[in-house]
Amino acid sequence: MNDQSMQADREHWDLVIKPKNSLFALNLKEVWRYKDLLLLFVKRDFVAQYKQTVLGPVWNLVQPILTTAIFLLLFGRIANIPTDGIDPIPFYLSGITIWNYFSVCLTNTSNTFVLNASIFGKVYFPRLVIPLSVVLSNIIRFGIQFFLLLIAIVFYHFFKGAPLYISFSWVLIIPVVGLMAGLGLGLGIIISSLTTKYRDFTVLMTFVIQLAMYVTPIAYPLSFLAATKYKNLISLNPMSPVVELFRYAVFGKGTFTTGSILYSVIFTVLSLFIGLVIFTKVEKSFMDTV
């Protein structure tokens, strides 16, 4: 063997483990190699949750129905807040459906390290697989709840004479869900990385996510605040334009501008980027602090 090939042989290593990664060491190729695992985690999440229940996935419908009933009572009948000319039940249901997806993505991804510490401590795979599987498995849940929303819309059309709004805007649902997933994932992995050492964030999360719903136009339309100074405050919430865009997609009514949508998109991309940077930094050694 001559010097050069020996040199080349010595330099070739499949894996070099060093104390620190470069700032942005995300290896998407590796995540792709583990796509089978990703799908199996999705299956596990979904199947295991409803083992030994009679109703199974039907449970996904109970929560939005009950929440809609409460909203109808509180915001509709007692507070008398208008619903943008949309029938109240489909209106609330649409908000709850999209909010549920976001909040479940956020809360479940934020537990990534703490909940899976026992697996992470024993074997290596790209840790990002877990939060991605959460986002994916909840799309199934979102689909079921969205189906409920469709039933409500069709019901109101045929029995109450509400106009049926079918247009190209329905295509917008896909980017809306994408934005929700991205925002939930981005914020979720930031929090999950922080909770590995300091559990304070877990405590914080439990109520912040509940409170956040009230500063997002879920139980009221953004147009209701149009004349007040609170409109700007609520608009600062990057979730607001997304929810309004979702309502526009489904009902053709929503309050947003190109600027506000752009704001949400930039916010999502930024949180995803920061999330991935922190996540790849933490995943290497979180077992020592978790």
Q: Could you list the residues that contact other proteins (CB under 8 A)?
A: 9, 12-20, 34, 36-37, 40-41, 43-44, 47-48, 51-52, 119-125, 197-198, 284-285, 287-289
Nearer to other proteins, 51 or 229 (CB): 51
Copy the structure tokens of residue 237: 């919430």
Q: How far is the CB of 286 from other proteins (least distance, A)?
A: 8
Q: Are 24 and 279 in contact (CB under 8 A)?
A: no
Nearer to other proteins, 3 or 36 (CB): 36
Q: How far is the CB of 282 from other proteins (least distance, A)?
A: 11
Q: How far is the CB of 37 from other proteins (least distance, A)?
A: 4
Q: Which of 50, 42, 263 is nearest to 133 (CA)?
A: 42
Compute the distance between CA of residue 48 and CA of residue 56 in angstroms, rounded to an integer.
Answer: 10
Compute the distance between CA of residue 270 and CA of residue 183 in angstroms, rounded to an integer.
Answer: 9
Q: How far is the CB of 251 from other proteins (least distance, A)?
A: 39
Copy the structure tokens of residue 228: 């007040």
Q: How far is the CB of 17 from other proteins (least distance, A)?
A: 4
Compute the distance between CA of residue 209 and CA of residue 107 in angstroms, rounded to an integer.
Answer: 8
| Eight-state DSSP code of residue 228 | S
Q: Residues near 243 by Cβ (< 8 Å), separated by ≥ 6? A: 95, 98, 99, 216, 217, 218
Nearer to other proteins, 29 or 51 (CB): 51
Nearer to other proteins, 244 or 283 (CB): 283
Nearer to other proteins, 39 or 212 (CB): 39
Q: How far is the CB of 278 from other proteins (least distance, A)?
A: 14
Copy the structure tokens of residue 115: 């909940």
Nearer to other proteins, 37 or 139 (CB): 37
Compute the distance between CA of residue 73 and CA of residue 67 in angstroms, rounded to an integer.
Answer: 10
